């Protein structure tokens, strides 16, 4: 199936005879594979008598060689899958099997992509970026403090290099463009954080996606913001370089070095918000983050800090 996709990805017409010859199969076998591509990957393929078969839009598939070509220096080793349950889950499996970190897991699509608090992450084929970076953390909770916020800064800077202008952060793990969600970040940890552990930095970016009825919140994509198709191989390389830089700074100085610049990028700074945990709701004013990445919330004139993976921040109706 992937060989057939590689033949069709240019968006041009290809005859059934030429496709069959290239794959070493009959024209009827090509027809069956094309039907499979349409039903399995939800791709639209035009069929025109006398001209052959054409993808409705060219495909930009992830390729290690192309990523390396866009990279400065030596890129992280990357495991690229056409389909997988979750890049984060695969990263954890590889770490458990002894794969040396750091390394990347990338996929064209996810069958069980996950967001925070167990939500589904919609993952259509070859349209977005499903990116998991696995790191080894040796001896120190300090290296984990504010880590997801640092990742958000790296993503925001990457998006700006592609021409996105109205981009900012929402505590704790979202990147917004034009006020709508464009990126989600999910960190997962295995091992002993006080000794040796592995952390998976899962990043999902809406890249070339133009429609997704399953998403239940306002969203946008890089293509939607700029009107331009984005080369996802270049995006992987740019994101990796920003992450390398910011993670090295975080290891050296801790999150406190990022506190001020993160607050400057926080879209809801000074806004009336509600912090929600299950059925509990706390109303206050967002005042920023503390040195560990926790949310500083002013409640009835008193400032308190909150942190935790199950917390959700929302704008208050009256703001």
Residue 203 per-residue DSSP state? E
Q: Which of 12, 93, 119, 314 is an active site residue?
A: 314
**Crossing angle for the helix pair 27-41 and 16-23, to the nearest 10 degrees:** 90
User: HSE (CB half, 13 Å, CA atoms) of 283?
Assistant: 6
- According to DSSP, residue 134 is labeled E
Cα 84 to the center of its chain, rounded Å? 15
Tell me whether residue 88 is annotated as binding: yes
Residue 181 annotated in active site: yes
pLDDT at 318 > cutoff 80: no
Return the exposure string of 104-121: e unless at least 16 CB atoms fall within 10 Å of the residue's CB, then b: bbbbbbbeebbbbeeeeb
pLDDT of residue 5: 86
Helix, strand or coil for residue 182?
strand
Looking at residues 253-279, what average pLDDT do you find? 93
3 assigned to active site = no
Residue 314 falls in the annotated catalytic set = yes
pLDDT in tens, 156-196: 999 999 999 999 999 998 999 999 999 999 999 998 877 88
- Answer whether residue 214 shows pLDDT above 70: no
With cut-offs at 50, 70 and 90, classify the pLDDT of residue 136: very high
Q: What is the pLDDT of residues 138-152, one digit of tens each?
A: 876 778 899 999 999
pLDDT digits (tens, 9 = 90+) for 45-80: 888 888 999 888 778 899 999 999 999 988 999 999
User: Shortest CA distance to 128 belongs to which of 205, 183, 192, 52?
Assistant: 205
Whole-number pLDDT of residue 119: 61
Q: What is the pLDDT of residue 299?
A: 95
Q: For the ranges 45-59, 113-127, 273-287, which has the lowest average pLDDT?
A: 113-127
**Predicted local confidence at residue 319, as pLDDT:** 44
Q: What percent of the chain has pLDDT over 70?
A: 93
Confidence check: pLDDT of 283 > 50: yes
**Options 109, 157, 170, 181, the catalytic residue:** 181
Annotated binding residue 49? no
What confidence score (pLDDT) does residue 171 get?
93
Is 114 marked as a binding-site residue? yes
pTM tops 0.85: yes
**pLDDT surpassing 90 at residue 297:** yes
280 is in an annotated binding site: no
Mean pLDDT of the chain: 89
- Strand intervals (E) in the chain: 45-48, 52-55, 78-81, 103-107, 129-138, 167-170, 174-177, 180-191, 196-205, 272-277, 280-289, 295-299, 302-306, 312-315
Quick one: residue 225, left, alpha or beta (phi over 0 = left, psi -120 to 50 = alpha)? alpha
Q: Give phi and psi for 148, each to the nearest 5.
A: -65, -30
Query: Is residue 124's pLDDT more than 90?
Result: no
Q: Which listed residue (109, 116, 170, 296) is catalytic?
A: 116
pLDDT of res. 191: 85
């Amino acid at each position: 199936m992937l060989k057939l996709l590689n033949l069709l990805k240019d968006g041009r017409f290809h005859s059934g005879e030429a496709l069959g010859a290239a794959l070493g199969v009959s024209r009827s076998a090509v027809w069956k594979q094309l039907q499979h591509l349409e039903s399995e990957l939800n791709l639209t393929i035009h069929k025109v008598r006398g001209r052959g078969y054409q993808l409705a839009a060219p495909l930009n598939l992830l390729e290690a060689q192309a990523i390396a070509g866009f990279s400065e220096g030596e890129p992280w080793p990357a495991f690229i899958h056409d389909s997988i349950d979750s890049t984060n889950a695969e990263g954890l499996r590889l770490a458990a099997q002894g794969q040396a970190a750091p390394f990347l897991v990338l996929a064209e699509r996810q069958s069980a992509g996950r967001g925070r608090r167990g939500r589904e992450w919609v993952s259509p084929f070859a349209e977005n970026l499903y990116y998991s970076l696995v790191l080894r953390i040796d001896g120190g909770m300090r290296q984990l403090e504010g880590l997801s916020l640092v990742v958000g800064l790296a993503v925001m800077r990457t998006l700006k290099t592609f021409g996105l202008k109205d981009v900012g952060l929402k505590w704790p793990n979202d990147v917004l463009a034009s006020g709508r969600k464009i990126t989600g970040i999910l960190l997962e940890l295995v091992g002993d954080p006080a000794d040796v552990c592995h952390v998976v930095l899962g990043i999902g970016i809406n890249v070339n996606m133009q429609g997704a009825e399953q998403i239940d919140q306002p969203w946008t994509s890089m293509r939607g913001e700029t009107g331009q198709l984005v080369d996802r191989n270049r995006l992987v390389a740019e994101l990796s370089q920003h992450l390398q830089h910011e993670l090295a700074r975080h290891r050296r100085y801790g999150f406190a070095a990022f506190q001020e610049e993160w607050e400057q990028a926080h879209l809801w700074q000074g806004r009336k918000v509600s912090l929600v945990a299950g059925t509990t709701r706390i109303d206050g004013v967002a005042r920023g983050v503390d040195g560990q990445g926790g949310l500083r919330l002013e409640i009835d004139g008193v400032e308190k800090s909150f942190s935790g993976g199950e917390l959700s921040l929302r704008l208050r109706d009256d703001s």
